[in-house]
């Protein structure tokens, strides 16, 4: 299985901050990488697929980049509704695997 490791595991930030979350794959996964946002008690929500393609309806302050094994999710200016847990997911090969999550908290 391909292991996905996110860093940091948790992060404190303020509204209007720029935040970057990193995801590293245990082997090269080309551009087969997606990002999800999950709020407490809710299902995950797709933010970005294919490394940098923004899902319809997702604000443009979210962006993704990277290739090979290293990927990033950036939120350019944090809004109150962005405080949540974020997961990366690889689809280079099955079983699909997710990172352990990064919890973004209000400072």
Partner 1 sequence: QVQLQESGPGLVKPSETLSLTCTVSGGSINNYHWSWIRQPPGKGLEWIGYIYYSGSTNYNPSLKSRVTISLDTSKNQFSLKLSSVTAADTAVYYCARLRAVTGSTDYFDSWGPGTLVTASS
- The least CB distance from residue 64 to partner 1, in Å, is 11
- The least CB distance from residue 77 to partner 1, in Å, is 25
Phi then psi dihedrals of residue 29, to 5 deg: -125, 20
Query: Which lies closer to partner 1 via its Cβ, residue 62 or residue 87?
Result: 87
Q: Is 23 in the site for partner 1 (CB under 8 A)?
A: no
Q: Which residues of this protein are in contact with partner 1, per CB under 8 A?
A: 1, 31-34, 36, 42-46, 49-51, 55, 87, 89, 91, 94-101
């Amino acid at each position: 299985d391909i292991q996905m490791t996110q860093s940091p595991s948790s992060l404190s930030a303020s509204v209007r901050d720029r935040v970057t979350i990193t995801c590293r794959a245990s082997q090269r996964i080309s551009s087969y990488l997606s990002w999800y946002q999950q709020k407490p008690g809710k299902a995950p929500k797709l933010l970005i697929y294919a490394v940098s393609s923004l899902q319809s309806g997702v604000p443009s302050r979210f962006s993704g980049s990277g290739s090979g094994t290293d990927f990033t999710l950036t939120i350019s200016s944090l809004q109150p509704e962005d405080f949540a847990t974020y997961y990366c997911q690889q689809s280079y090969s099955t079983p699909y695997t997710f990172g352990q999550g990064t919890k973004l908290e209000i400072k």
